[in-house]
Amino acid sequence: MILAPGFSPQPTTQTDTLSGGFVNALDFDSHCRGVLRPVPQHVIEVTAAIAALSIVVNAANSDPTLVIRTPDGRYLCNDDYEGLDSRVRAPFGPGRYEVFVGAYDTGGRSSYDYRLGVSEADIHPSEIPEP
């Protein structure tokens, strides 16, 4: 996904399934939670600074977590922003952002479908439209 200020549509949404190959999010950063794939499910290329970007994830009947690796190697993490669903809202400078969607408690034994939404608006996980 390539983004610049004023991108369209907003929110931009993607769907995926989380399953198998898990690592502990604590291995990324001590503030992160859940179990993740060792590689990102989504990559966001920001071509010009965006003052504030919301990245949200929701999953029916599951407890998703969200980890974003910034271009400078820092991590933005969230679990349970709205109910069990997750959100990160922050300024995003130009560069490559790796987005990992995890699960709080699968232990690698189950899978679930989720929706990811990205917007400059202050959106919440429950506001992601159906794909």
pLDDT in single tens digits along all 131 residues of the chain: 999 999 999 999 999 988 666 788 999 999 999 888 889 999 999 999 999 999 999 988 788 899 999 999 999 999 999 999 999 999 999 999 999 998 887 555 467 889 999 999 999 999 986 55
In a domain, 60, yes or no: yes
Residue 19 maps to which CATH number? 2.60.120.380
Output the DSSP codes for 100-117: EEEESS-TTS-EEEEEEE
CB-facing half-sphere around the CA of 85: CA atoms within 13 A: 20
In a domain, 131, yes or no: no
In a domain, 129, yes or no: no
Per the structure, the complete domain to which residue 12 belongs is given by: 2-124
Q: pTM for the full model?
A: 0.91
In a domain, 130, yes or no: no
Provide the domain count of the chain. 1
In a domain, 97, yes or no: yes
